[in-house]
Amino acid sequence: MNHYSNTLFDLEGSTALITGGSRGIGLQIAEALGSAGARLMLTARKEAELEAAAAHLKNLGIDASWIAADSSDPSEVQRVCSKTFDTLGHLDILINNAGTSWGASAETHTLQAWDRVMNLNIRSLFLFSQQAAVGSMIPRKRGRIINIASIAGLGGNPAPMECVAYNTSKGAVITFTRALAAEWGKHGINVNAISPGLFPSKMADGVIAAFGEERIISTTPLGRLGDPDDLKGAALLLASAAGKHMTGHAIVVDGGTSAVIGA
């Protein structure tokens, strides 16, 4: 039997830090990387959610530790990365997933809310990537950084959805990914992004309710929302040897929504 495909996606011996790893997309990716053999460090703000996530992963036979921290705070980012290096020994994979949104029209959007979204959705990606690269990836001449963007980063929103800061931040994530890939390829670091469509989650449930699940499904070519397994394949591809010649790209996982004009 040919086990070549299994070897390509094998992460045995690898380590990964996942921001926003306690639930939703972050936890889905944690399940994927951990099941492929990676040892994990999860970080998010709420200790109780992190503890529950780590227990869930351990029940699946996955080695998972956690650190509660605010990813928008530069000093907290440094603390998380230092503890990750101490606990895991080195860092092979960084999943920049932590993010937030804010619903408001552009004319009423407050500067405080704008900064909140930008600080977590894009500044934290720069901070975590810099710490991961300088502290482990550049010295070891290897690393994978996967940024979680969104199809919202590809343009604006249909009415009645208004979240200009979120869309702007996710567009910045895509450009940040390309710029970092171009700069850090010489260090053996692959930098890519995943741009999900709508997946039921604490952040997306309000959007789904506002548009109506049936309306969303009717404009999605595959006729469904994303489920708890739909991002695992893309994450494994970008984190493993299977994606070793991919860098600077954003893989869209949205059931075809972004392919439909006017959707």
**pLDDT of residue 108 exceeding 90:** yes
The stretches of the chain forming alpha helices (DSSP H) are: 4-8, 24-35, 47-59, 74-88, 111-118, 124-132, 138-140, 164-184, 205-211, 213-218, 232-239
pTM equals 0.94
For the segment 2-28, what is each residue's pLDDT rounded down to a tens digit?
566 679 999 999 999 999 999 999 999
For the segment 116-173, what is each residue's pLDDT rounded down to a tens digit?
999 999 999 999 999 999 999 999 999 999 999 999 999 887 766 788 999 999 999 9
Phi first, then psi, for residue 100 (nearest 5°) are: -150, 170
Question: Domain tally for the chain?
Answer: 1
Q: What is the mean pLDDT of residues 28-38?
A: 98
In a domain, 107, yes or no: yes
In a domain, 190, yes or no: yes
In a domain, 145, yes or no: yes
In a domain, 261, yes or no: no
Q: What is the mean pLDDT of residues 100-113?
A: 92
**pLDDT of residue 1 exceeding 90:** no
Q: What is the mean pLDDT of residues 204-228?
A: 82
Distance of CA 115 to the CA centre of its chain: 20
For the segment 38-93, what is each residue's pLDDT rounded down to a tens digit?
999 999 999 999 999 999 999 999 999 999 999 999 999 999 999 999 999 999 99
CATH code for position 220: 3.40.50.720
Instruction: Determine contact, residues 17/94, Cβ cutoff 8 Å.
Output: yes
In a domain, 42, yes or no: yes
Q: What is the mean pLDDT of residues 186-190?
A: 98
Residue 162 has a pLDDT of 82
Residue 219 has a pLDDT of 86
Residue 22 has a pLDDT of 97
Nearest to 12 by CA among 240, 247, 233, 243: 240
Residue 156 has a pLDDT of 82
In a domain, 263, yes or no: no
Looking at the annotation, which residues are catalytic?
166
In a domain, 39, yes or no: yes
Residue 213 has a pLDDT of 79
In a domain, 260, yes or no: no
Strand duo 143-148 + 189-196: pairing: parallel
- Domain residue limits at 135: 4-255
Residue 168 has a pLDDT of 96
Residue 263 has a pLDDT of 55
